[in-house]
């Protein structure tokens, strides 16, 4: 049952980052590349018409995590309290940036909420990447000092950063040079995904320019990917063990590489949907590769006193997990139906659809 719920939560989280990821990416593109009012308005629509339904997947993932792995849920929501509050505020400002922009026609009013949308999207992408960096790096579970654990084995609390700014210290912060690298990879990946979404769903005047932007961002992503794999070995020397012991897991890095290599030919791709699929593969491959490298661990311990948090030592009872399957299937089916209806209602280009007025 633990493996079933681990896979189910992984799927829901991956769907969230694929769907809401293009909203984050659209915000990043909006912030740096949208200059004309017409482009700003249509890019805002490309995110605004979809963001609320896409975030349902995040709510679902949180509920499933609370149900299936309550010890892990309690650990990370206390340990990552500060960045979680920041993420909450960023989600709020991204939403009101989208919803408030069109309420008045004053340019200063629009500019304020354009910045709220763009900056919030950029920082959300960065912080979600930093969160992934913390998960793969590990934390000081139990707050061990001089070989003695001062708290329970699943407890930790991280400041936003440590004075050393290093992932190799005994007391790392949320932000260090390693998690920043993972954060930058996430920002670049979602910017590519968002650009492909804008091209797919709009007739923006910058669509041709965006293909060139994607090409350059993909080069940066390839460099960052190789660099991150190198430094990951210094942060966690055992990070590739699962792939060596279980070669079938290599399918997940291959999915990522397929998207990465394919996007080098973005200017030759005729169908916009094909480019969007390739950036989807980037997100799918990146998340699943990270999860596969850790399994069955879900939060590594960087000390030798307390064991890693795994799907087995943080899960709910077998009975609870079994009963929840029925309700989980019903809830998942409702979300899928909701998503299908919403996507069908807003299929095709959205330039002439009304939003924000």
Helix then strand count (H, E) for the chain reads 13, 4
Could you tell me how far CA 286 lies from the centroid of its own chain?
10
In angstroms, what CA-CA distances link 352 with 20, 57, 252, 346? 22, 27, 38, 11
Average pLDDT, the chain: 89
Q: What is the pLDDT of residue 356?
A: 58
* pLDDT tens column, 5-25: 999 999 999 999 999 999 999
The pLDDT confidence band at residue 275, using thresholds 50, 70 and 90, is very high
Q: What is the pLDDT of residue 163?
A: 82
In angstroms, what CA-CA distances link 142 with 69, 236, 307? 18, 19, 10
Q: What is the dihedral of CA 305, 306, 308, 311, to 10 degrees?
A: 150
The overall longest dimension of the chain from CA atoms, in Å, is: 64
Whether residue 104 contacts residue 182, with contact meaning beta carbons closer than 8 Å, is answered with no
Which of 214, 337, 224 lies closest to 276, judged by CA?
A: 214
- State whether the Cα torsion 38-42-47-50 is positive or negative: positive
Lowest mean pLDDT among 115-124, 233-242, 268-277: 233-242
Percent of the chain with pLDDT over 90: 41
Whether residue 23 contacts residue 55, with contact meaning beta carbons closer than 8 Å, is answered with no
The pLDDT confidence band at residue 250, using thresholds 50, 70 and 90, is very high
Which of 6, 8, 4, 133 lies closest to 69, judged by CA?
A: 6
* pLDDT tens column, 286-313: 999 999 998 898 999 888 888 889 999 8
pLDDT of residue 357 exceeding 60: no
Whether residue 140 contacts residue 151, with contact meaning beta carbons closer than 8 Å, is answered with no
Cα separation, 332 vs 343, whole angstroms: 16
Beta pairing partners, 297: 310
Sequence spans of domains, the chain: 2-345
CB atoms within 10 A of CB 179: 26
Beta pairing partners, 149: 144
**Token pair recorded at residue 178:** 């390693």
Whether residue 327 contacts residue 276, with contact meaning beta carbons closer than 8 Å, is answered with no
* pLDDT tens column, 193-207: 999 999 998 888 888
Which of 59, 184, 177, 48 lies closest to 117, judged by CA?
A: 48
Site of tokens 């210094």? 234
In the chain, the DSSP E strands lie at 144-145, 148-149, 297-299, 309-310
Percent of the chain with pLDDT over 70: 99
Cα separation, 185 vs 181, whole angstroms: 6
Whether residue 121 contacts residue 94, with contact meaning beta carbons closer than 8 Å, is answered with yes
* pLDDT tens column, 211-222: 999 999 999 999
Give, in degrees to the nearest 5, the angle at Cα 215 between 209 and 216. 95
């Amino acid at each position: 049952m633990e493996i079933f719920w681990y896979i189910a939560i992984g799927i829901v989280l991956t769907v969230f980052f694929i769907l809401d990821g293009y909203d984050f990416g659209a915000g990043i593109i909006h912030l740096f590349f949208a200059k004309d009012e017409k482009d700003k308005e249509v890019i805002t629509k490309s995110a605004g018409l979809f963001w609320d339904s896409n975030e349902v997947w995040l709510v679902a993932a949180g509920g499933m995590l609370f149900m299936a792995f309550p010890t892990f849920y309690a650990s990370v929501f206390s340990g990552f309290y500060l960045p979680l509050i920041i993420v909450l505020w960023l989600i709020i400002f991204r939403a009101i940036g989208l919803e408030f922009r069109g309420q008045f026609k004053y340019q200063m009013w629009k500019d304020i909420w354009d910045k709220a949308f763009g900056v919030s999207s950029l920082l959300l992408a960065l912080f979600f990447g930093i969160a992934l960096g913390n998960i793969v790096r590990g934390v000081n579970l139990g707050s061990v000092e001089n070989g003695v654990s001062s708290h329970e084995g699943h407890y930790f609390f991280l400041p936003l950063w440590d004075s050393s700014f290093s992932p190799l210290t005994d007391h790392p912060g949320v932000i260090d040079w390693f998690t920043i690298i993972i954060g930058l990879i996430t920002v670049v990946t979602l910017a590519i995904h968002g650009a492909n979404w804008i091209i797919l769903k709009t007739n923006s005047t910058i669509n041709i320019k965006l293909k060139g932007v994607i090409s350059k961002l993909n080069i940066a992503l390839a460099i960052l990917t190789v660099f991150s794999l190198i430094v990951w070995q210094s942060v966690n020397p055992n990070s590739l063990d699962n792939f060596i012991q279980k070669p079938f897991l290599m399918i997940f890095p291959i999915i990522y590489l397929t998207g990465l290599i394919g996007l080098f030919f973005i200017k030759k791709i005729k169908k916009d949907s094909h480019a969007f699929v390739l950036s989807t593969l980037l997100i799918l491959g990146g998340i699943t590769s990270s999860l596969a490298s850790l399994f069955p661990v879900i939060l590594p311990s960087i000390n030798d006193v307390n064991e890693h948090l795994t799907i087995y030592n943080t899960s709910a009872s077998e009975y609870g997990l079994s009963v929840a399957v029925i309700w989980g299937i019903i809830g998942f089916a409702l979300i899928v139906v909701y998503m299908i209806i919403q996507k069908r209602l807003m299929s095709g280009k959205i330039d002439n659809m009304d939003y924000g007025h």
